[in-house]
Amino acid sequence: LRSPMLNSLLQKCLQMFIQCTHQRIHHISPAEYEEFVGIVCSARTAFCMTPGGMVQFHEMLQSLRRTKSCKRDLYQRILNGLHSSNV
């Protein structure tokens, strides 16, 4: 982004998104996995808009993976969703 003000706003939004995903992962049920995966996949586009955004995105994914609340099935669905939206 060219505008420092917009870049600052987007950075704050991304930080809030990361916090929100970490909160959400502790209270998610299998019935909500599909929606959560869709949100994470869509968020990747916003992370791509900032310098270093993909590093932040991958750090968020790794952090989610390490939480006890993130089941293996959910993490695999996230990876599959990211891969299929990347093709």
Per residue in 20-74, pLDDT (tens digit) is: 999 999 999 999 999 999 999 999 999 998 889 999 999 999 999 999 999 999 9
Q: What is the pLDDT of residue 70?
A: 93
**Chain center to CA of 14:** 9
- At residue 1 the predicted structure's pLDDT band, cuts being 50, 70 and 90, is low
User: Per-residue pLDDT for 87 more than 70?
Assistant: no
Question: pLDDT-derived band of residue 86, with 50, 70 and 90 as boundaries?
Answer: confident
* Distance (Å) of CA 28 to CA 6, 9, 33, 37, 62: 32, 28, 7, 11, 18
Domain containing residue 64: 4-86
Burial of 33 (0-12, 13-18, 19+ CB in 10 A): middle
Q: Model pTM? A: 0.87
Which of 7, 9, 35, 11 lies closest to 21, judged by CA? Answer: 35
